[in-house]
Structure 1
Amino acid sequence: MNGVRAVVFDTDGVLLATAARHAAAWKETFDGCLPEWQPSHAGAPPRPFDPVREYRDLVDGRSRLDGVRAFLAARRIALPPGTPGDPPGCATVHAVAARKEEVFSAMLRTDGVRAFDDVRPALRELRRRTIRCAAVSASRHARSLLQAADLTGHFDALVDGRDAAALNLPGKPDPALFLEAAGRLGVPPAHTAVVEDALAGVEAGRRGRFRLVVGLDREADPHMTDTLRAHGADMVLPGLVGLPAVLEGEHT
């Protein structure tokens, strides 16, 4: 068999409807710190975090620390790195990452988590076709969220932010998380597909030389579709309904 034998799925925005919550948590985090980092000049407050464009371009798909670093670099804000023990705040990179973690965790306690409606049917069909599946996320919450959504039984492997920290794996757009997942599935990248909704994620799939990189644009936004392709997606789908059929064409 020379085609696709496995699929590695991103979690937030692909399997779970948590991307909007991540964007809101980043916005609350950054907007709360921006007045401290960039005091008002001539009465004009600092420009708020854009939960669409800046979320997509700077933090989506990245680890919390990498997301903080990317945003600070884009705004030309310099902060000391700090240490992993820093409490939530605005004074260091680690403190800002902890602040985002605190905000996001509070949102989850209030709102819970759900899987997209097309996830279970797609995963069941892939299992029927004997295609192995893994879930990947830069988030340390991914394993518990997938358990809460009752999805873990559909996957043969899971790599999350805790695994990345334990193994010292770099975050996306480095392909290390995807390569680790493919290794756990026992299928080389040349026979594995990646499904991602984040720009950093499709770029990671391309860098990892996976057989097929599928971008997911659940909003069916033509600009986002083009941008996903520009970052490395071989094709872009509006959801997972059509994924098994697409992979069937790559299966033999």
Structure 2
Amino acid sequence: MTAVNWAERRAVLFDLDGVVTPTATVHLRAWEVMFNEFLASHDPTQPPFTTADYHAYVDGKPRYDGVRSFLASRDIALSEEEVIELGDRKNVAFNQVLEAEGVEPYPGSVLLLDHLGALGVPMAVVSSSANAVPVLTRTGLLGRFAAVVDGVVAKAESLPGKPHPDTFLYGARLLGASAAESVVLEDAVSGVAAGRAGEFGLVIGVDRGAGVPALTEAGADVVVADLAELV
């Protein structure tokens, strides 16, 4: 167990996909389907999109930024209209997988939510996904959080996405807390980097595949494999 004095924290900011719910796996599968279909038609000599590509270029970023980042890694230049089309195709694939298979939260994450709720610690979800509210509603967890800062909110408020810290800082403000008083929980390298850039009091990496070295290098103060370790 990793000791954290939760009672002294004024806000806890959770990423969603890969931290609260295993929807990062759904996102990965959707990205694989979309990008590998694209690569097969655009340039069959390109190697397929892999899990390593997901963690390096896509995970935790706003959808269109993820498209741009991966394409740049392969030296593929597309118009902005084509970038948006690919991002929209990925979102369709995500919703199809989610509808077919559903999603259940990580038991360890629910354990931590129960613990923080009992302590009265304010919590928010800060996610790059535009699907955060539907996912939280489907899992029955929406009411656990005082605020949700997702891709929809970020667009409405003109907040740059992770690895910029703006969405986390906005979430902390909604809970009436400063960055120094707040905790960030993230599984993506870009999200951990956002927490470090925002100078949050504690940045906890959750290793769901990115790897302890990568999360530590990005700025995590501590890395756990499951949120149950924090109770």
TM range, normalised to the smaller chain? over 0.9
Counterpart for residue 154 of structure 1: 144
- Report how many residues are paired: 226
Unaligned runs of 5+ in 1: 83-91, 245-252
Are residues 1:225 and 2:215 paired?
no
Cα deviation for residue 238 of structure 1 reads 1.1
Cα deviation for residue 201 of structure 1 reads 0.2
Task: Name the larger-Rg structure.
Answer: 1
Amino acid at match of 2:224: L
Counterpart for residue 134 of structure 1: 124
Are residues 1:176 and 2:166 paired?
yes
1:216 to 187, 206, 211: 206
Unaligned runs of 5+ in 2: 1-6
Counterpart for residue 75 of structure 1: 74
In structure 1, how many angstroms separate the alpha carbons of the residues matched to 2:208 and 2:92? Answer: 27
Q: Would you tell me which structure has more helix in proportion to its own residues?
A: 2
In structure 1, how many angstroms separate the alpha carbons of the residues matched to 2:116 and 2:201? Answer: 17
Are residues 1:46 and 2:46 paired?
yes
Q: Is the contact between residue 37 and residue 77 of structure 1 (CA under 8 Å) also seen in structure 2?
A: no
Amino acid at match of 1:49: F
In structure 2, how many angstroms separate the alpha carbons of the residues matched to 1:242 and 1:4? Answer: 17
Q: Secondary structure at the match of 2:203?
A: strand
User: What's the % identity of the aligned pairs?
Assistant: 41
Counterpart for residue 61 of structure 2: 62
Q: Considering Cα pairs closer than 8 Å and 6+ residues apart, tell me whether 1 or 2 has the greater RCO.
A: 2
Are residues 1:11 and 2:16 paired?
yes
TM-score normalised to structure 1 length:
0.86
Q: Is the contact between residue 10 and residue 197 of structure 1 (CA under 8 Å) also seen in structure 2?
A: yes
Cα deviation for residue 100 of structure 1 reads 0.3
In the TM superposition, structure 1's runs of 4+ consecutive aligned residues that sit over 3 Å from their partners are none
Amino acid at match of 2:122: R
Please provide the CA RMSD for this pair: 1.6
